[in-house]
Amino acid sequence: MPSTEGPHGTGKRARRPDLRAARAALPESVRKLIDDYERHLSLERGLSAHTVRAYLGDVVSLMGFVDGNGGRFEDLDIGTLRGWLARQREEGASRTTLARRAAGARTFTAWAHRGGALASDPGGRLVAPRAHRKLPGVLRAEQASDVMRFSAAGAEQRDPVALRDSAIVELLYATGVRVSELCGLDVGDVDFSRRVVLVLGKGGKERVVPFGVPAEAALRVWLDEGRGKLAVESEGPGKAALFLGARGGRLDPRAARRVVHDAVGSVPGANDMGPHGLRHSAATHLLEGGADLRSVQELLGHATLATTQLYTHVTVDRLKAIHDRAHPRAR
């Protein structure tokens, strides 16, 4: 998908192309290939709808570039792939966007080669600029405590939505789960006897994540006093959902993001952030508290340890800042 930055980093949002229209404009043989690829991503790899759309957007963009230059898919080569990336760079795509799209193209050409649609795999030789992997700002531990405290204070009147919101921020921070994983939870996924929650993560992988006493208390109050008031009209898909929207259906991730933004916004000086920021905060605080990388990797559901290792940069930077302020021989 296109970068939201203009050619000179102005932050101007680019117009998002119509994926369906662009796909429909491709030759029939290419459309059929993309249909097969979509089934592979969804059914065989079990990727989320959002991830599948991102992969397909890259492929449709690539195939549109090929078709627009009078080429054929069967003749796809490294020169064409490089030309496709160069065009996007001219249009203002960021390094991060180029790196992601190159990865998407490599995944597609490798799949096409395995299936016999391409005689060779040109994507294996494609190199793109490395993405700038920048973590969002994280809350300090005392700020995280303030977020939880303010959220709990808002629930003191026992309004069902406020009770839900308090349980949401407590569970997100306690577990570090993704917002999609949170919204996908059912009531039966919570095991209070062991204080763990069963999470369905990326690629359909399940993991068990523990939570603490404050999250347990917030969840119990939500289930005992709040959920039933929102679930009165819920007889459809949201019937088993742990968290419900104001109309009784399963909570939408967009609503969960608003909950977190509002909760964090109540703390003076805290960086504005959504659920992803709480996830990063939880991981950072675990590492600062002495947790090992492997354990944090398991809790967060990271496929590789390299992703989890990004958090060590945050903790090292913090330790260095403390050292610079406190040590008499730091300067």
Distance, in Å, from the CA atom of 307 to the CA atom of 201, rounded to the nearest integer, reads 15
Distance, in Å, from the CA atom of 315 to the CA atom of 46, rounded to the nearest integer, reads 33
Catalytic residue among 23, 106, 164, 178: 178
Catalytic residue among 40, 202, 207, 261: 202
Please say if 327 is a catalytic residue.
no
Residue spans of alpha helices (H) in the chain:
19-24, 28-39, 49-68, 78-90, 95-114, 141-154, 160-175, 179-183, 213-221, 227-230, 253-265, 275-288, 293-300, 305-326
Catalytic residue among 45, 95, 276, 318: 276
Please say if 13 is a catalytic residue.
no
- Per the CB < 8 A criterion, the answer to whether 300 and 279 are in contact is yes
Please say if 311 is a catalytic residue.
yes
Catalytic residue among 37, 55, 173, 311: 311
Catalytic residue among 100, 164, 250, 302: 302
- Element holding 200 (H helix, E strand): strand 196-200
| Number of other residues whose CB lies within 10 A of the CB of residue 10 | 10
Instruction: Report helix angle 141-154 to 253-265, nearest 10.
Output: 110
Which residues, 6+ apart, have CB-to-CB distance to 202 below 8 Å?
47, 48, 51, 301, 303
Tokens of 225: 């006093």
Which residues, 6+ apart, have CB-to-CB distance to 194 below 8 Å?
210
Please say if 302 is a catalytic residue.
yes
Distance, in Å, from the CA atom of 189 to the CA atom of 223, rounded to the nearest integer, reads 13
- Per the CB < 8 A criterion, the answer to whether 207 and 201 are in contact is yes
Catalytic residue among 101, 279, 280, 285: 279
Tokens of 9: 């980093």
User: Could you list the active site residues?
Assistant: 178, 202, 276, 279, 302, 311
